[in-house]
Amino acid sequence: MRHRIIVLGAGYTGAFAAGRLARRLRREDVAITLVNADPDFVERVRMHQLAVGQDLKSRPFSGMFAGTGVELKLAKVTGVDVGRKTVAVADANGAEELAYDTLVYALGSGWDTQGVPGTAEHAFEIAGRPGALRLRERLARLDAGQTVVVVGGGLTGLEAATEIAETRPDLDVALAARGGLGDWLSPKGREHLRRVVGRLGITVYENAAVTGVEADHVATADGTAIPAAVTVWTAGFAVHPIAKATALEVTGAGQIVVDGTMRSVSHPDVYAVGDAAMVMGPGDKPLRMSCASGVPTAWQAADAIAARLTGGKLPNVPIRYFNQCVSLGRKEGLIQYVTAEDRAARAVLTGRLAAVYKELVCKGAAWGVANPMFGMPTRRRRVTRERAAAGSAVAASA
Ligand X SMILES: Cc1cc2nc3c(=O)[nH]c(=O)nc-3n(C[C@H](O)[C@H](O)[C@H](O)COP(=O)(O)OP(=O)(O)OC[C@H]3O[C@@H](n4cnc5c(N)ncnc54)[C@H](O)[C@@H]3O)c2cc1C
Give the interface with ligand X as residue ranges (CB under 6 A). Answer: 9-14, 35-38, 42, 44-45, 47-48, 76-77, 106-109, 126-127, 156, 159, 240, 274-276, 289-292, 294, 325
Nearer to ligand X by C-beta: 219 or 258?
Answer: 258
Length of the chain: 398
- DSSP reduced 3-state for 361: helix
- Beta carbon of residue 356, minimum distance to ligand X (angstroms, whole number): 14
Closest CA to 318 of 347, 348, 339: 339
Minimum gap (Å) between residue 390 Cβ and ligand X: 29
Give the residue with the Cβ less far from ligand X, 104 or 383. Answer: 104
Phi, psi angles (nearest 5°) of residue 179: -110, -145
Cβ pair 116, 220 in contact under 8 A:
no
Helix 291-310 to helix 12-24 angle (10° resolution) is: 30
For ligand X, the closer of residues 112 and 172 by Cβ is 112
The distance of closest approach from Cβ of residue 144 to ligand X in the complex, given in angstroms and rounded to an integer, is 25
Least distance in angstroms from the C-beta of 262 to ligand X: 12
How far apart (Å, rounded) are the C-alpha atoms in residues 4 and 203?
A: 53
Judged by beta carbon, residue 272 or residue 388, the one nearer ligand X is: 272
Helix or strand run (H / E) with residue 194: helix 187-199
Closer residue to ligand X, CB minimum distance, 14 or 391: 14
CB of 326 to ligand X, least distance (A): 7
Q: Which amino acid is at 301?
A: A
* Smaller CB separation from ligand X, 275 or 303: 275
Output the smallest distance, CB 309 to ligand X, in A: 22
| 372: helix, strand or coil | coil
The closest residue (CB) to ligand X is 11
